[in-house]
Amino acid sequence: MTAFQSLPAIPHLEPIFAAIAAANPHDGQARADSIDPRRSLALLAPAGSGKTTQLLFRMLACLTVVERPEEILAITFTTKAAGEILERVTSALSLAAAGVEPVQAHEKPLYQLGRLVLERDRLLGWNLILNPSRLRIMTFDAFCAYLAGKTPIMSGLGGGKTVEDPALIYRSAILDTLGSVNSDDIPEELREALEAVLTFARNRFELLVPMFSALLSKRDQWAGEIMTLDIPGMELAIAEMVAKHAAEAITVLGGSPLTQAMDILQHASGVYDGFAWAAQRPALAINQTSLDYLRGFAGFALTSENTLRKSVNVKNGFPAGEPLTKDMNALLKGLKDDPKVELYSEALVTLKTLPDLQYPQGSAAMCQHFTVILRYLLANLTLTFDGTATIDFQEVAQRAIQSLGFGDEVGDALLDEDRINHLMVDEFQDTSPSQFELLQRLVAHWEDDDSRSVFFCGDGFQSIYLFRAATVELFINMVMSKVFGPKSLEIHRLTINFRSAPGVVEWNNRAYGKVFAKSDFPFVPSIPFRTVDGGVHIRPITTGPIGEAQEVVNIIKEALAKNPEQTIAILVRGRSHLKHILPALKEAGIPTAGQNIDPIAESAPVSEVIALIRALWHAADRTSWLAMLRSAFVGLSWDDCRIIAQGGKVIRGALNDDQLIATLSPDGQVRVERLNKVMERIERSARGTELVWAAKAAWVALGGPATVDSVEMADVETVFRVLAQHTSNGALQDPQAFFRALDNLYASPKAGVVQVMTIHNAKGLEYDSVILPGLNRTGAPDDTPLFYWRNLAGTFALAPNVGDQDESSPESRLFKFIGRQVKKDILDEVSRLAYVGTTRAKCDCYLLAAVDKFDEDKPIRVASGSLLSCLWPELEEDFYEAEPGVPITADVSVEVPSKARLSASFTVELPRGIFIPAASNDQIPTENELADELREEEGNCQDPAGYTRVS
């Protein structure tokens, strides 16, 4: 008897289960079973399959069997997703409360579930419609903060503020650790370790800080492992992987013409010392001797660019005219037409790059040094957190895990009112190892046959958050083992696609069946539900990135001509891929709305406000003063700015030089006079030294609000709010932290016909038409880390960067080998990123890639690691059939750019009136508030600049 069969019946839900199961013959039963609160299961939900609806139904079904809503915990990854689920639950309850049963059959189950929940709500006095906060639907970060906060003693979490960008905190801890090398009282082991690492970095702290900072941002992945590093265990795990890779490569090469090349090299070893390694062909068993031979053979067969050698000559040890030379060249020439030649090349590259079977001594020594340094660094990080009363999300998560206890203590931290009986996790494929551990501890004391349940919803092909430690293998292994902690899992799969047109679904089925053909986890085709027209349209571009941008414009115009009401999105891998597209859209008059596309500091109105803030903060910052003079609210011309900048004077002083100002244009003189009056008035104010107030006052008095629209005003308010958060007693405490905080903010999206965003931001969204340009572009290269790490068959393996310039050294081989495994994970994710992108389309999906024009003898160059390279098995034929395009060149302007600005006669009317209290740091003062504050400070009622507003 299974755990499910032993649980009591729930007759009130059975009719709903039956109705859902009967709704469609493909996955109706899976949909019904997945919302049964008696079942613990993993639901495989591909793109467009309606997983959010399943989560909603499951939540409602669980509410019909619990005593308190708090017994149910639903975890998501984003606040937006949590808000959407909460809104859908409350909407379902409101719909049920209205008492109007839907006519459509597919809408009835939701209504009926809502009615059942309301019955239990009334019976137990929950009052959920008025108290939706009792529904525990939250992000991982929010739940960790809640958990750690509820148990401050066990978690060790005090009252520190959680910071989103802890880079400066990391930097402080890193500099404290590295700087201690100059101290006389540090332990000898730390001194030796620091000296070794500083030697590796050539004593450049600025090189090490970002490398250690990157490690701290991912410390949940290595901190627990590196403190108990097992060098012999790592050596064994690496040797097993090397043997596995070597055996796979030998299998590919076995029986190929390349085995004859080994015979030729064996004969050549007698006449050429460079082939001495080939004199004896070792046995098939993988040992260091056979490994050296295989690497030597691969090094011969491949060029320096890792392509298969086409011929040999005297430089390679084969003199012209010799029989062995003729035999080898004939063999290599014959490989050109071998259908398996690419497989041979891949196998040879694998062999060429394998590390030694033994863990290198230099790597082991550096591992010990890193272990020592990181132990002290983590301690310093804790001290820095305590000293600054701050904490980062990773620390909150680790302390939440700690709060749940260890061993027999697990679960004791949860008080009765916090007990969870039904756990639901959305997008489970994106969980990190620490999040996975947290979930396991939550259920550690559950029983397989008790009434508690887990529900994990996910799609392994939509795991695209490797940069935040998402580990899709955790999801895959859980599904394949059908176990999570003490709970046995049922595995259910959704197959109906409710989102996309049949043409899109069929193309995705065909393409990703090829892309994921070698995946350990099978790709299962989806079944289209809709009957609308549409499909995937391939647009190879042979006219460069500017031609690609123009094609995007053409596609949008054609789409809007067919249906002006449709939704359109441009999805890119990285924001830099929009360089030519956004200007082309602007020139074509197509309004766009960017989602986290434009850094807020690059917005013209915001950059002008930042220049004003910098100028007020530092009088000698000439660049910021000049930028402020050029702003729309001051509006000096380039010529006038050049005159003011001459002589290297402090700009504020130059503005008060009457002789200098007299040389400006008449327009410039008026503008400087207006600026001086405002600045003098603010400087005389008792609050003039308060940076936030002074900056706001100057911006308002100079007419800044008249230069922005409502969306830009929101961005300006954000800047002032962030500034207020970084000031104390009116002064900017840490300028670096303030400007870094701005770097991490994006301009508010404006209303637009076309949505523009990265594929990551499009996750979970859908549009009638989706355009994916830049398929042949790659992401930004990753910085070389201090060490690579990876889990090899359950063993934590670490490969340190020893800074060795000899790429053939054992230490370099190991570092690059583990690095390639890490990079393979990244490349696998690129394929999943393509899947997420193309599955956003409801009707039409357009795939664009700029490629060099080709001819029959010159293959298309596909960038390695690009989306195009992943989709090439499906797109290759389409691209070779493309018509040649005409190159397009961009016009380059050498004119001084013009700038919109207020007229010189523009004034701000600051009317007399009753006193209004000073504006708070959260709000930009109105003109009336500013006027009254200034009058109150000076004790008079005269307008500060004597202006009247003009249109």
pLDDT value of position 294: 93
Q: Which of 142-156, 266-280, 763-777 has the highest mean pLDDT?
A: 763-777
Inter-residue contact 257 to 331 (CB < 8 Å): yes
pLDDT value of position 915: 29
Angle at the Cα of 452 (from 448 to 458), degrees rounded to 5?
90
Q: Percent of the chain beyond pLDDT 90?
A: 62
Measured in whole angstroms, the distance separating CA 64 from the mean position of its chain's CA atoms is 38
Other CB atoms within 10 A of residue 33 CB: 18
Residue numbers in the known binding site are 45-52
pLDDT value of position 813: 94
pLDDT value of position 685: 86
Residue numbers in the known binding site for ATP are 45-52
pLDDT value of position 165: 82
Inter-residue contact 298 to 262 (CB < 8 Å): no
Across residues 365-378, what is the average pLDDT? Answer: 96
Across residues 414-423, what is the average pLDDT? Answer: 77
Residue 671: enclosing H or E segment and its boundaries? helix 666-684
Across residues 345-352, what is the average pLDDT? Answer: 94
Residue 162: enclosing H or E segment and its boundaries? strand 161-163
Please give the Cα distance from 476 to 481 (Å, whole number). Answer: 9
Q: What is the pLDDT of residues 442-455, one digit of tens each?
A: 999 899 989 999 99
Residues for the chain: how many in total? 951
Please give the Cα distance from 281 to 262 (Å, whole number). Answer: 8
822, burial (CB in 10 Å: exposed 0-12, middle 13-18, buried 19+): middle
DSSP codes of every residue in 340-395:
THHHHHHHHHHHHT---SSPPHHHHHHHHHHHHHHHHHHHHHHHHHHHHTEEEHHH
Please give the Cα distance from 806 to 751 (Å, whole number). Answer: 55
Q: What is the pLDDT of residues 459-512, one digit of tens each?
A: 999 999 998 888 999 999 999 999 999 999 999 999 999 999 999 999 999 999
Other CB atoms within 10 A of residue 66 CB: 17
Across residues 587-606, what is the average pLDDT? Answer: 83
Please give the Cα distance from 716 to 605 (Å, whole number). Answer: 7
pLDDT value of position 158: 57
pLDDT value of position 907: 65
Q: Which range has the worst mean pLDDT, 143-152, 698-707, 847-856, 935-944? A: 935-944
pLDDT exceeds cutoff 70 at 159: no
pLDDT exceeds cutoff 60 at 884: no
Inter-residue contact 222 to 432 (CB < 8 Å): no
Inter-residue contact 595 to 577 (CB < 8 Å): no
Q: What is the pLDDT of residues 22-48, one digit of tens each?
A: 988 899 999 999 999 999 999 999 999
Please give the Cα distance from 78 to 765 (Å, whole number). Answer: 13
Across residues 186-212, what is the average pLDDT? Answer: 92
Please give the Cα distance from 226 to 800 (Å, whole number). Answer: 12
Q: Which pTM does this prediction carry? A: 0.84
pLDDT value of position 927: 44
> For the chain, what is the mean pLDDT?
87
Q: What is the pLDDT of residues 737-784, one digit of tens each?
A: 888 888 878 777 666 689 999 999 999 999 999 999 999 999 888 888
Q: Which range has the worst mean pLDDT, 171-175, 289-293, 740-744, 838-842? A: 740-744
User: Confidence class of residue 337 from pLDDT cuts 50, 70 and 90?
Assistant: confident
pLDDT value of position 733: 78
pLDDT value of position 408: 54
pLDDT value of position 305: 87
pLDDT exceeds cutoff 90 at 515: yes
pLDDT value of position 597: 75
Across residues 185-208, what is the average pLDDT? Answer: 92
User: Confidence class of residue 899 from pLDDT cuts 50, 70 and 90?
Assistant: low
Angle at the Cα of 542 (from 539 to 543), degrees rounded to 5?
110
Q: What is the pLDDT of residues 618-648, one digit of tens each?
A: 888 999 999 999 999 999 999 999 999 987 8
User: Confidence class of residue 729 from pLDDT cuts 50, 70 and 90?
Assistant: confident
pLDDT exceeds cutoff 70 at 928: no
Please give the Cα distance from 360 to 371 (Å, whole number). Answer: 17
User: Confidence class of residue 847 from pLDDT cuts 50, 70 and 90?
Assistant: very high
Across residues 900-905, what is the average pLDDT? Answer: 71
